[in-house]
A and B are shown apart, each in its own frame.
Chain A
Protein backbone atom coordinates (compact mmCIF):
# COMPACT_ATOMS: atom_id res chain seq x y z
CA UNK A 1 0.00 0.00 0.00
CA UNK A 2 2.84 2.37 0.83
CA UNK A 3 4.45 1.62 -2.53
CA UNK A 4 1.30 2.62 -4.44
CA UNK A 5 0.90 5.77 -2.33
CA UNK A 6 4.50 6.78 -3.08
CA UNK A 7 4.04 6.16 -6.83
CA UNK A 8 0.78 8.16 -6.96
CA UNK A 9 2.41 11.01 -5.02
CA UNK A 10 5.41 11.02 -7.41
CA UNK A 11 2.99 11.28 -10.36
CA UNK A 12 1.09 14.19 -8.71
CA UNK A 13 4.27 16.13 -7.96
CA UNK A 14 5.55 15.58 -11.50
CA UNK A 15 2.28 17.07 -12.77
CA UNK A 16 2.80 20.01 -10.41
CA UNK A 17 6.32 20.51 -11.82
CA UNK A 18 4.94 20.53 -15.38
CA UNK A 19 2.43 23.24 -14.37
CA UNK A 20 5.29 25.26 -12.85
CA UNK A 21 7.29 24.96 -16.05
CA UNK A 22 4.27 26.28 -17.97
CA UNK A 23 4.22 29.38 -15.74
CA UNK A 24 8.00 29.67 -16.07
CA UNK A 25 7.73 29.83 -19.87
CA UNK A 26 4.52 31.86 -20.18
CA UNK A 27 4.89 34.20 -17.19
CA UNK A 28 4.15 37.79 -18.16
CA UNK A 29 6.86 39.43 -16.01
CA UNK A 30 10.25 38.56 -14.59
CA UNK A 31 9.05 38.22 -11.01
CA UNK A 32 6.46 35.64 -12.12
CA UNK A 33 9.29 33.54 -13.46
CA UNK A 34 11.20 33.94 -10.20
CA UNK A 35 8.13 32.71 -8.30
CA UNK A 36 7.71 29.74 -10.68
CA UNK A 37 11.37 28.79 -10.27
CA UNK A 38 11.11 29.03 -6.46
CA UNK A 39 8.09 26.73 -6.52
CA UNK A 40 10.05 24.37 -8.79
CA UNK A 41 12.79 24.14 -6.15
CA UNK A 42 10.29 23.34 -3.41
CA UNK A 43 8.51 20.72 -5.49
CA UNK A 44 11.78 19.07 -6.39
CA UNK A 45 12.64 18.84 -2.68
CA UNK A 46 9.39 16.90 -2.20
CA UNK A 47 10.22 14.73 -5.23
CA UNK A 48 13.69 13.92 -3.87
CA UNK A 49 12.27 12.96 -0.46
CA UNK A 50 9.74 10.67 -2.17
CA UNK A 51 12.52 9.12 -4.27
CA UNK A 52 14.44 8.43 -1.10
CA UNK A 53 11.35 6.71 0.34
CA UNK A 54 10.91 4.67 -2.85
CA UNK A 55 14.49 3.41 -3.01
CA UNK A 56 14.73 3.12 0.82
CA UNK A 57 18.04 4.91 0.92
CA UNK A 58 18.76 7.94 3.15
CA UNK A 59 21.52 9.21 0.84
CA UNK A 60 19.25 11.67 -0.95
CA UNK A 61 18.65 14.08 1.93
CA UNK A 62 21.90 16.00 1.46
CA UNK A 63 20.82 16.79 -2.10
CA UNK A 64 17.44 18.01 -0.82
CA UNK A 65 19.10 20.24 1.77
CA UNK A 66 21.48 21.71 -0.81
CA UNK A 67 18.63 22.43 -3.23
CA UNK A 68 16.67 24.17 -0.45
CA UNK A 69 19.66 26.36 0.43
CA UNK A 70 20.64 27.29 -3.13
CA UNK A 71 17.04 27.98 -4.12
CA UNK A 72 16.56 30.36 -1.22
CA UNK A 73 19.78 32.25 -2.00
CA UNK A 74 18.89 32.53 -5.70
CA UNK A 75 15.37 33.79 -5.01
CA UNK A 76 16.57 36.37 -2.49
CA UNK A 77 19.34 37.64 -4.77
CA UNK A 78 17.05 37.99 -7.82
CA UNK A 79 14.24 39.70 -5.87
CA UNK A 80 16.69 42.07 -4.22
CA UNK A 81 18.20 42.94 -7.57
CA UNK A 82 14.76 43.56 -9.10
CA UNK A 83 13.54 45.76 -6.26
CA UNK A 84 16.71 47.76 -5.43
CA UNK A 85 18.89 47.51 -8.54
CA UNK A 86 21.71 46.08 -6.43
CA UNK A 87 22.20 42.94 -4.36
CA UNK A 88 24.55 44.01 -1.56
CA UNK A 89 24.41 47.70 -0.77
Chain B
Protein backbone atom coordinates (compact mmCIF):
# COMPACT_ATOMS: atom_id res chain seq x y z
CA UNK B 1 0.00 0.00 0.00
CA UNK B 2 2.90 2.29 0.76
CA UNK B 3 4.24 1.64 -2.74
CA UNK B 4 0.97 2.82 -4.32
CA UNK B 5 0.96 6.04 -2.30
CA UNK B 6 4.64 6.73 -3.07
CA UNK B 7 4.06 6.12 -6.77
CA UNK B 8 1.09 8.50 -6.80
CA UNK B 9 3.09 11.21 -5.03
CA UNK B 10 6.07 10.92 -7.40
CA UNK B 11 3.74 10.83 -10.43
CA UNK B 12 2.02 14.01 -9.31
CA UNK B 13 5.28 15.82 -8.56
CA UNK B 14 6.67 14.80 -11.95
CA UNK B 15 3.66 16.19 -13.82
CA UNK B 16 3.78 19.42 -11.82
CA UNK B 17 7.45 19.82 -12.75
CA UNK B 18 6.68 19.12 -16.43
CA UNK B 19 3.99 21.81 -16.41
CA UNK B 20 6.40 24.35 -14.97
CA UNK B 21 9.12 23.42 -17.46
CA UNK B 22 6.50 24.00 -20.17
CA UNK B 23 5.73 27.45 -18.79
CA UNK B 24 9.41 28.39 -19.15
CA UNK B 25 10.34 26.67 -22.42
CA UNK B 26 7.37 27.14 -24.75
CA UNK B 27 7.51 30.16 -27.08
CA UNK B 28 3.92 31.45 -27.35
CA UNK B 29 1.36 32.44 -24.72
CA UNK B 30 -1.31 29.97 -25.82
CA UNK B 31 1.21 27.13 -25.73
CA UNK B 32 2.26 28.26 -22.27
CA UNK B 33 -1.36 28.23 -21.19
CA UNK B 34 -1.59 24.59 -22.23
CA UNK B 35 1.11 23.35 -19.83
CA UNK B 36 -0.09 24.24 -16.32
CA UNK B 37 -3.63 23.05 -17.03
CA UNK B 38 -2.32 19.51 -17.29
CA UNK B 39 -0.19 20.10 -14.21
CA UNK B 40 -3.30 21.08 -12.27
CA UNK B 41 -5.47 18.19 -13.35
CA UNK B 42 -2.99 15.31 -13.28
CA UNK B 43 -0.28 16.46 -10.88
CA UNK B 44 -2.18 18.06 -8.04
CA UNK B 45 -5.03 15.57 -8.50
CA UNK B 46 -2.67 12.61 -8.01
CA UNK B 47 -1.06 14.23 -4.95
CA UNK B 48 -4.48 14.89 -3.39
CA UNK B 49 -5.62 11.30 -4.04
CA UNK B 50 -2.39 10.03 -2.43
CA UNK B 51 -2.95 12.22 0.63
CA UNK B 52 -6.56 11.02 0.96
CA UNK B 53 -5.43 7.38 0.72
CA UNK B 54 -2.70 7.99 3.31
CA UNK B 55 -5.08 9.44 5.88
CA UNK B 56 -7.63 6.70 5.17
CA UNK B 57 -5.18 3.82 5.58
CA UNK B 58 -2.57 4.91 8.13
CA UNK B 59 -4.54 7.29 10.37
CA UNK B 60 -7.98 5.63 10.08
CA UNK B 61 -9.77 8.88 9.40
CA UNK B 62 -11.78 9.77 6.34
CA UNK B 63 -10.59 13.25 5.43
CA UNK B 64 -12.90 15.01 3.03
CA UNK B 65 -10.74 18.14 2.74
CA UNK B 66 -8.68 16.74 -0.14
CA UNK B 67 -11.80 15.79 -2.06
CA UNK B 68 -13.11 19.33 -1.55
CA UNK B 69 -9.84 20.89 -2.78
CA UNK B 70 -9.78 18.52 -5.79
CA UNK B 71 -13.37 19.35 -6.79
CA UNK B 72 -12.69 23.06 -6.43
CA UNK B 73 -9.49 22.89 -8.51
CA UNK B 74 -11.13 20.81 -11.25
CA UNK B 75 -14.00 23.30 -11.43
CA UNK B 76 -11.93 26.47 -11.42
CA UNK B 77 -8.92 25.57 -13.60
CA UNK B 78 -10.83 25.61 -16.95
CA UNK B 79 -12.65 28.83 -16.00
CA UNK B 80 -9.46 30.74 -15.21
CA UNK B 81 -7.69 29.33 -18.32
CA UNK B 82 -10.63 30.44 -20.47
CA UNK B 83 -10.59 33.96 -19.01
CA UNK B 84 -6.81 34.29 -19.48
CA UNK B 85 -7.13 33.14 -23.12
CA UNK B 86 -9.89 35.71 -23.64
CA UNK B 87 -7.72 38.48 -22.20
CA UNK B 88 -4.80 37.56 -24.48
CA UNK B 89 -7.10 37.34 -27.52
CA UNK B 90 -8.51 40.78 -26.74
CA UNK B 91 -5.00 42.19 -26.47
CA UNK B 92 -3.96 40.70 -29.83
CA UNK B 93 -7.11 41.97 -31.53
CA UNK B 94 -6.58 45.50 -30.27
CA UNK B 95 -2.88 45.34 -31.27
CA UNK B 96 -3.92 44.34 -34.78
CA UNK B 97 -6.46 47.13 -35.10
CA UNK B 98 -4.13 49.86 -33.86
CA UNK B 99 -2.09 50.58 -37.07
CA UNK B 100 -5.20 51.28 -39.16
Chain A residues engaging chain B, CB cutoff 8 angstroms: 1-2, 4-6, 8-9, 12-13, 15-17, 19-20, 22-23, 29, 31-32, 34-36, 38-39, 42-43, 45-46, 49-50, 52-53, 56, 58, 61-62, 64-65, 68-69, 72, 75-76, 79-80, 82-84
**Known contacts A9-B10, A12-B16, A29-B29; is-contact A39 B73 (Cβ 8 Å):** no
- 1/0 contact trace for B1-21 toward A, CB 8 Å? 011011001101110110111
A82 touching B87, Cβ below 8 Å: yes
Given A15-B17, A29-B29, A50-B13: 19 more A-B contacts, CB < 8 Å: A1-B6, A2-B54, A4-B6, A5-B6, A6-B9, A9-B9, A16-B20, A19-B23, A23-B24, A38-B36, A42-B44, A42-B77, A45-B73, A64-B69, A68-B72, A68-B76, A72-B72, A79-B86, A83-B83
Residues from chain A with a CB closer than 8 A to the CB of B61 are 58
A22 touching B84, Cβ below 8 Å: no
Cβ distance A89 to chain B, nearest Cβ, rounded Å? 14
What are 9 A-B interface contacts by the 8 Å CB criterion?
Answer: A2-B9, A8-B10, A8-B13, A16-B21, A39-B39, A58-B65, A65-B72, A83-B83, A83-B90
Contacting residue for B23 out of A6, A20, A80, CB 8 A: A20
A49 touching B73, Cβ below 8 Å: no
- 1/0 contact trace for B42-72 toward A, CB 8 Å? 0110011011001100010101011011001
A53 to B54, CA, bound (A): 8
